[in-house]
Chain A
Amino acid sequence: MAESVIVVHQLTKKFGDFTAVDSVSFEVRRGEVVGYLGPNGSGKTTTMRMLLGLLRPTSGSATVLGYDIVRDAERIRPLVGYMSQKFALYDDLTVRENLAFYGGVYGLTEAQLRSRLAELFPLIGLEGRENMCAGALSGGWRQRLAMGIALVHQPQLLFLDEPTSGVDPEARREFWDIIYTLAERGVTVFVSTHYMDEAEYCGRLGLMNQGRLLALDTPSALKREAVPGEAWDIAAQPLLPALEALEALPGVTQAGLLGNRLHALTARGAHTTETLGRALAAFAPQVEAAEVTLEDVFAVLTRSPAGMTPKQHVG
């Protein structure tokens, strides 16, 4: 197994009485793409900021690339890249000037910068826009430039804090292509998101809720282990009374709305299409076996029925 580039041990951050990150422990190995999934305010950004030396942990410890995040923050900085959800661009500078500025701040000489930019522009797909003002770029292009800034000094480890928020689905998909290209080149990527579909792309996935890391594993392992049973999609009329009836059935561990249908989890072997169809006969049901989703995992782990919503967001 590859070496660990991030080792986090019972990391905690309190802001007054509020515990933003509550005793979180995990490891990330070289070359992994690890996702950090959770609703807004679940402690994703705070964890990342502590690992980057932007915030001091209240207790616990962590190392990044072998360096302690409190004592050796300055040694970590040249080795890691960071892209914040705000896309830290200078709107009055051109694309090239933005990259040249951050390159200079990382100590790149003119010659190094030129050769680095020559590699970077095709990777982030900003060729032909070098001399556009950053302020004139639309969301997807801004995101790519912010990624370029995080990559300008060729970091081994990349922290991406909700890099795809506010960007259209097409641009999000292309952005994940860039992440995979980087991973193939050996860059470790630690990426937070609140999009469930994106979470599926991650090699391993941590689930955060209210400051706690609920689980960290591959998406398929999470589905297998967190949800011991079957998932079902049920069309029924009228919907809400049908949901009440479903929730009241023995063997149903979780039920909720998914679009204009019902989505239910049942204990292993407790139900079949027929038993569910009979139990809901009053509602003209059409029952189909369904895949366990990450929403299901999240809902089970947080025991909150509100976890399932028609949107791809959690909570």
Chain B
Amino acid sequence: MLNTRLLSLIRKEFIQISRDPRTLVLVIVIPVMQLFLLGYAATHDVRNVPLAVFNQDRGPEARALLDAYRAADYFRLAFDAGSEAELRRLIGEGRARVGLIIPPDYGTQLQRGAAQVAFILDGSDPTVASTALAAAQLIGQAHGTQILAERLAARGVALSLTPPVEVRTQVWYNPDLEAAHFMVPGVIGMILYALTSLLTATAIVRERERGTIEQLIVTPIRPWELIVGKMLPYVSLALFNTVEVLAIGAWWFGVPVRGDLWLILGISVIFLMTSLGIGLFASTVAHTQQEAMLTVWMTLLPSIFLSGFFFPLEAMPQVLQWLSYAMPLRYYLSIIRSLLLKGVGFAEIQGDVLALTVFGLVIMTAAVVRFRKRLD
């Protein structure tokens, strides 16, 4: 299969890649950059939310409440507001995300029985707000329970305040709920998809732009050799990137690689049929390298949003969930997350693998047929 024609084409492609600084940056730097950006920045973990307090009581009870808030690392007591207006301004300016108003009679009310405090949330970022809301309620409840226990103890009633039903949570696969563990497999999928389709499309269109494709067609090279020779270098680059991102993910972000590495690479190759097919197809539609890039981007954006790369599919409206089944990236992400984090075997993922294979074959066949027509 590896004849002189094919080898020449592959060697030429590698020489061109090694001499094009743009491609080198795209291949070596961008994946690492993406990994670090997404591993750190795209985290949904909410910590250290700045809190502004308007404490009108200043008694020991109020201080105890504030200590309770301080103890949990969800909030950072950032501002001690002198008035409600000041607190309002701090939240309005975005310097504080949440506010706590303790009324002047908090201590007396509490001694009489029950007291109220006001908790204000900036809801403009729902992720932060919902976490902060849950945390604030939890802290309030815990603090209330503690006061109750102290009161009963003061009356000589030793009461165990364990609730009759306890829900013990166990988080599997990603016990610390680290966002990076979710993102690294996603970045691998993104890189395989975006990089290979972009590079193949532009590499072929460049030959068409320069007229070298015409020169190639009049040589005895066969269409399949032309396609394979053009793609193999990018397949190997993509697999290099997969290993690169996996290694950084494992060493730097501590992402577990629980599944079989060869299975991961094998399935990545199946997924590459899809992205190479899209690249090949784009090259038959586009006349310039810019057009090729735009065409690929048009397929890329829905893939990113509808594959569960950023947003959980379960949270999407039903219609979008159905649409997501048309995104090959969806299956790949689901497989690669299972393989890395859960360490499952082939049996658990075979449905997704089958879907991925069908997509790959269909897209690749369509692209090859179209590509051959353009050669005539």
Q: Interface residues, chain A, CB within 8 Å of chain B?
A: 52-56, 74, 77-78, 80, 82, 84, 86-93, 97, 100-109, 149
Q: Distance in Å from the Cβ of A15 to the closest Cβ of chain B? A: 13
Contact of B376 with A105 in the complex, beta carbons under 8 Å? no
Q: In the complex, what distance in Å separates the CA atom of A109 from the CA atom of B214?
A: 23
Contacts of B8 in A (CB 8 A): 100-101, 103-105
Contact of A105 with B16 in the complex, beta carbons under 8 Å? no
Contact of B5 with A105 in the complex, beta carbons under 8 Å? yes
| Closest B residue, CB atoms, query A97 | B15
Q: In the complex, what distance in Å separates the CA atom of A275 from the CA atom of B19?
A: 71
In the assembled complex, B163 has its CB within 8 A of some CB on chain A: no
With A84-B214, A105-B9 as known contacts, state yes or no: A56 contacts B4, CB within 8 Å.
no
Q: Interface of chain A, helix or strand or loop or mixed? A: loop
Stretch in B26-34, B218-226, B245-253 with 4+ CB within 8 Å of A: B218-226
Q: In the complex, what distance in Å separates the CA atom of A84 from the CA atom of B211?
A: 8
Contact of B220 with A74 in the complex, beta carbons under 8 Å? yes
In the assembled complex, B212 has its CB within 8 A of some CB on chain A: yes
The size class of the interface chain B forms with chain A is 20 to 34
Q: Distance in Å from the Cβ of B12 to the closest Cβ of chain A? A: 5
Contact of A82 with B220 in the complex, beta carbons under 8 Å? no
Contact of A52 with B218 in the complex, beta carbons under 8 Å? yes
| Closest B residue, CB atoms, query A146 | B215
Contact of A106 with B212 in the complex, beta carbons under 8 Å? no
| Closest B residue, CB atoms, query A108 | B4
In the assembled complex, B168 has its CB within 8 A of some CB on chain A: no
- Top 7 nearest A-B pairs (CB, nearest first) are A104-B8, A86-B211, A88-B215, A88-B212, A101-B12, A82-B218, A105-B219
In the assembled complex, B210 has its CB within 8 A of some CB on chain A: yes
Q: In the complex, what distance in Å separates the CA atom of A100 from the CA atom of B11?
A: 10
| Closest B residue, CB atoms, query A159 | B218
Q: Distance in Å from the Cβ of A14 to the closest Cβ of chain B? A: 15
Contact of B5 with A89 in the complex, beta carbons under 8 Å? no
Q: In the complex, what distance in Å separates the CA atom of A263 from the CA atom of B219?
A: 47
Q: List 24 A-B contacts (CB under 8 A).
A: A52-B218, A54-B218, A77-B218, A82-B218, A84-B214, A86-B214, A87-B211, A88-B212, A88-B215, A90-B16, A92-B19, A93-B16, A97-B12, A101-B12, A103-B8, A104-B4, A105-B4, A105-B9, A105-B221, A107-B3, A107-B4, A107-B5, A109-B4, A149-B215
Contacts of A80 in B (CB 8 A): 218
In the assembled complex, B216 has its CB within 8 A of some CB on chain A: yes
Interface digits, B176-217 against A, CB 8 Å rule (1 contact, 0 not)? Answer: 000000000000000000000000000000000011101111
Q: Distance in Å from the Cβ of A80 to the closest Cβ of chain B? A: 8
Which of B20, B210, B211, B216 contacts A105 (CB under 8 A)?
B216
In the assembled complex, B7 has its CB within 8 A of some CB on chain A: yes
Q: In the complex, what distance in Å separates the CA atom of A104 from the CA atom of B13?
A: 13
Q: Distance in Å from the Cβ of B6 to the closest Cβ of chain A? A: 9
Q: Distance in Å from the Cβ of B242 to the closest Cβ of chain A? A: 27
| Closest B residue, CB atoms, query A101 | B12
Other A-B pairs, 16, CB within 8 Å; known A74-B220, A92-B16: A54-B214, A77-B218, A78-B220, A84-B211, A90-B212, A91-B210, A92-B15, A92-B19, A101-B9, A102-B215, A103-B8, A104-B5, A105-B5, A105-B9, A105-B216, A105-B221
